[in-house]
Amino acid sequence: MKYYIIAGEASGDLHGSNLVSSLRAKDPGAKIRAWGGEKMRRSGANVVKNYHNLAFMGFVEVLMNLNTILKNFSFCKKDITEFAPDAIILIDYPGFNLKVAEWAKKKGYKVFYYISPQVWAWKRRRVYKIRRVVDKMLCILPFEKKFYDNYDVDCQFVGHPLLDEIARVEPVDKARFYKSNRLNPKKEIIAMLPGSRKQEVSRMLTVMMEVTKQFPNYQFVIACAPSLPMSYYKRFVNDKSNVRLVRNRTYQLLQLSSAAMVTSGTATLETALLDVPEVVCYKANKISYWIARILAKVRYICLVNLIMDKMVVKELIQNDMTAKNITEELKSLLTNQKRQRKLLEDYEELKFVLGNAGASNRAAEVIISNIKID
C-alpha cells in the first residue's frame, strides 16, 4: 500500500520515522512519500519536502511567510494527486495539516491524524473540523482520548512514542562524552535546550547565557538542533564562557546532566522521562504571546504539567523568563534534596500515566487495519 505522511517539525520527523519503520515492518511492500527530515528518510520514506523550510512559529511569523505557505500547499495537493496514496497520515503541524485534511477528505482520501493538534489548549473550534475531515485520530496523551470522546471524534489512544525512544537509549560512556566534547571532568553539567527554530533559539539563549555566569562551578552544554547550523549557536557563545555545543547527542547529554533549562515543547517531556530536574522556559513574540494568552484554555504550557494536571516543573513564561528567576530555580533543583525526591516521584508517576511502549506499532496496526476494512 501507499502512504503519504506530512510532518512539519523536528519532533514530527522523529515520531514519523518510527511510524515509517513500523509501517514497513507490517507492510513490507509499503511505498511511503513524506514531508519530514533526515530521520524519516533513514527509516525508508521518500522525503520530498524538508521540515527545515516549513516551521513558522507564531501569528506574526506565519503572516510574514504566507506566500511560502500557500506555495507549499499547492505543491502538496499536486504531489498527493500524482502519488495517489491509500492513506494520508498527518503528524501535528495543525495550521497546515488541517487544510490538507479538508482538501483530502473532499477528494476521497483516507485521512489519519497521528499526534493530535493541541485543540484542547486553544482553537478548540478546530475539533469540529477534525470530526468532519479526519477518519481516525491517533492520540498520544491519555486525556486527549476523553476530550475527543466528548465531541464524538473517532479517536484511539496509542500511547506516547517517546517511551519507545527512551527505552532504546543506551547508557552513555561518561569519560568518552566528556573527552569528545572538551568538557571539564571535574565539573557537573547543566544542559541547555533552547528549541529548534531560529526565532525561539535566539530568544532563549539571549537569556540563558546570562544564567551561565551565575554558576562558575558548573559547565553548560547546549543541545543544538539539527535544523540549524552550528554557526548560528556560536554567535551566542564566546571562547571564554563555560559553555560547549553538542549536536545529535541530546539524550546522552541529558543522562549526564544535573539539571536543565528547557524550552517548552517535546523536549520538556524527554527531559522528564530521563529523570533530569528541569526549569521550563519560553518567550514568544509579544503580539503572538498576547493573542495566545487570550485564546489558551489550559493552566500550563509544559507537557509534563499538562499530563499530570499539576505543577510538577516550574514554568517561566514571557516576562517571568529572566536570568534571575531561572537562576533561583536552578539553585533549588541542584541543592534541595527534598525537592529532588518529590520531582523523581512525579516523574515515575508520569511514566505510568503515559502507558506502555509500542505507540508506533499500535498506530501502524490501526492505520493498516482501517485501510483493509475499506
* Rounded distance between C-alpha atoms, residue 287 and residue 187, angstroms: 40
All residue ranges of the chain with pLDDT < 50 are 58-60
| pLDDT at residue 165 in the model | 86
Dihedral of alpha carbons 151, 153, 156, 162, sign: negative
Q: How many angstroms separate the first and last alpha carbons of the chain? A: 13
Q: Does residue 13 contact residue 7 with C-beta atoms inside 8 Å?
A: yes
333-340: which pairs have CB atoms within 8 A and are 24 or more residues apart?
Answer: 333/259, 333/277, 333/278, 333/279, 334/258, 334/259, 334/277, 340/277
Minimal CA–CA distance to 116: which of 88, 100, 97, 102? 97
| pLDDT at residue 54 in the model | 62
Residues 174, 126 within the same domain: no
Side chain identity, residue 150: N
| pLDDT at residue 374 in the model | 59
Q: Quick one: residue 275, left, alpha or beta (phi over 0 = left, psi -120 to 50 = alpha)? A: left
Element at 193 (helix H, strand E):
strand 188-193
| pLDDT at residue 135 in the model | 97
Taking the C-alpha atoms of 44, 49, 50 and 55 in order, what is their torsion angle to the nearest 10 degrees? -130
Taking the C-alpha atoms of 55, 59, 61 and 66 in order, what is their torsion angle to the nearest 10 degrees? 80
Number of domains in the chain: 2
Minimal CA–CA distance to 162: which of 245, 250, 43, 221? 250
| DSSP at 369 | H
Q: For 229-261, what is each residue's pLDDT tens digit?
A: 999 999 998 777 789 999 999 999 999 999 999
Place of cell 533513514: 42
| pLDDT at residue 133 in the model | 97
Integer-rounded Cα Rg, in Å, for the chain is 21
Residues 64, 142 within the same domain: yes
| pLDDT at residue 60 in the model | 45
* 269: its cell numbers: 517531556
| pLDDT at residue 292 in the model | 56
Residues 155, 104 within the same domain: yes
Minimal CA–CA distance to 52: which of 67, 70, 40? 40
Q: Which residues lie closer than 8 Å to 240 by C-beta, 6 or more apart? A: none
Q: What angle do CA 75, 199, 69 make, to 5 degrees?
A: 15
Side chain identity, residue 46: N
φ and ψ of 241, to 5 deg = -80, 160
Residues 130, 144 within the same domain: yes
* Rounded distance between C-alpha atoms, residue 94 and residue 119, angstroms: 9
Residues 175, 152 within the same domain: no
* Rounded distance between C-alpha atoms, residue 223 and residue 266, angstroms: 14
Residues 57, 119 within the same domain: yes
CATH of the domain at 57: 3.40.50.2000
* 57: its cell numbers: 512559529
* Rounded distance between C-alpha atoms, residue 51 and residue 227, angstroms: 8
Residues 87, 188 within the same domain: no
| 364 SS3 class | helix
| 131 SS3 class | helix
Q: For 39-80, what is each residue's pLDDT tens digit?
A: 999 999 999 998 876 655 544 455 555 667 778 889 999 999
Range of the domain at 265: 167-354
Q: Is residue 78 classed exposed, middle or buried when 0-12, 13-18 and 19+ CB atoms within 10 A define those classes?
A: exposed
SS (H, E, C) 203-244: HHHHHHHHHHCCCCCEEEEEEECCCCCHHHHHCCCCCCCCEE
Residues 104, 215 within the same domain: no
Residues 295, 182 within the same domain: yes
Residues 141, 215 within the same domain: no
Residues 174, 64 within the same domain: no
Residues 132, 264 within the same domain: no
Q: Which pTM value belongs to this model?
A: 0.80
| pLDDT at residue 130 in the model | 96
